[in-house]
Amino acid sequence: MPDLVERAPELGIEDVLKPEDSARLRDVVVDLARQQRAFCPVGTGSTLGRGAPLGPCRALVSTAALDSITRLDRDDLTCGVQPGLSVETFQHAITEAGLAFEPGPFASAASRTIGGILGEAPPSSRGFDRASLRSQVLGITAIDGNGRRFRCGGNVVKNVAGYDVSKLFVGSGGAWFVVTEIQLRLVIRPHACVLLCSASAAREESVELWRKLRRELVDARAVDLVFEPNDAARIEVLVAGSARLTEGFAQGSGLDVVSDGPEVWHEWRGDPAGPSSVVLRGRLDPSAVPKLLETLPSGCLGRIHARGAFEVHSRAFDDTRFPPRSIVRRIAGEGEAQVTPVADGVAALGGRLSECFGPLVTPGRLSFDTEAGA
């Protein structure tokens, strides 16, 4: 991936600032606030071309140098990390401690940062119920657009009364404030993992199998419907826990064992979208998936997770009509697609948050996929 400095001109960015620690980061933000220069906080900048437009940003402020684990409490199943820590380094460190991060797996773990993953909040195979990214954040330390440092949340699971501002960071796309430290919840590392897969079949047949398995395999950590070329699909099931549990699933599910072992927990199995692809993300009721199949293009790839979160990509979605009550956003590419309008009141919310945190941090972007005033 090109360096941020090399990519800046094509994005209309004048400066790329790379403070070496949190103290210097605050100085940079204060200086930008004094100059009234809008800016966007980034890690490695790998998703700068995705999501909602950045608005009139003039500078990028990279947190890549803030890449430490500040604390790791195995007994309490929590840790503190800086936003520039790579996902791979984070995973390796907690694995050595016998712990695991519940959501995932994530693409490009070597180059993506924890702050970037949380700021983007992509769909993940294990990202439902207890494993949603938002539920993993216990607290943050951050700097707002006026250079004021603040903390919210804490280091333990039950520590907040009222609205937890730290949750606002997840999926924000870098809006509102610059995070310097994140407190996360962890889980005990599963003793065994196994990835099971169905045979490739017609999409309609695979959807019926997927709906059946997600009802029956209640202890599975992931049940994905994976779209393949030529109107085909397959089911992938991740089981993790005791050796007895995984062996029982492998023998009784009727699915083939693709791989097993601890490394399966971190193995990303998505299909990367090409540079000319239109990429859509969203959520729909699993019962509506058959209706979705009626309009998805035959060349569409991607996957739908157990509770209906999905990411799909194709060269075009011109004729796609998503079922009612689904939430769909285009995060990359050009082209036509029917997407759910932004709910009334989002722009007003953005105005109130700008008053609170200052208007200079990623202006015009309420989240990774929602424009202010859209």
Whether the per-residue pLDDT at 59 is higher than 90: the answer is: yes
Among residues 249, 269, 289, which one ends one of the domains?
Answer: 269
Domain extent, residue 323, equals: 273-340
Please check the confidence at residue 118 and state whether its pLDDT lies above 90. yes
Same domain, 17 and 134: yes
In a domain, 230, yes or no: no
Q: Are 334 and 359 members of one domain?
A: no
**Span 101-110, pLDDT tens digits:** 999 999 999 9
Are 8 and 151 part of one and the same domain?
yes
Query: pLDDT tens, 322-347?
Result: 888 888 888 988 766 666 655 556 66
199 assigned to some structural domain: yes
Q: Are residues 174 and 40 in the same domain?
A: yes
Q: How do residues 222-239 score in pLDDT, each as one tens digit?
A: 999 999 988 899 999 999
User: How many helices (H) and strands (E) would you count in the chain?
Assistant: 9, 21
Global pTM value? 0.92
Average pLDDT over residues 44-54: 85
Number of domains in the chain: 3
Strand partners, 86: 113
Contact assessment for residue 335 and residue 318, using Cβ atoms and an 8 Å cutoff: yes
Q: Say if 228 falls within a structural domain.
A: no
Do residues 217 and 299 share a domain? no
Q: Could you tell me the pLDDT band of residue 156, with boundaries at 50, 70 and 90? A: low
Does 283 share its domain with 244? Answer: no
pLDDT of 321 above 90: no
pLDDT, tens digit, 9 for 90 and up, residues 252-295: 888 999 999 989 999 998 888 888 889 999 999 999 999 888 88
What CATH number does residue 22 fall under?
A: 3.30.465.10
* Residue 229, domain member (yes or no): no
Tokens standing for residue 155: 């280091």
Average pLDDT, the chain: 88
Shared-domain flag, residues 177 and 108: yes
Instruction: Tell me, yes or no, whether 350 and 334 share the same domain.
Output: no
Residues 61 and 92 in one domain: yes
Give me the pLDDT at residue 342, please.
Answer: 56
Amino acid code (one letter) for 347: A
Confidence at residue 197, expressed as pLDDT on a 0 to 100 scale: 96
Check whether residue 254 and residue 180 sit in a common domain: no
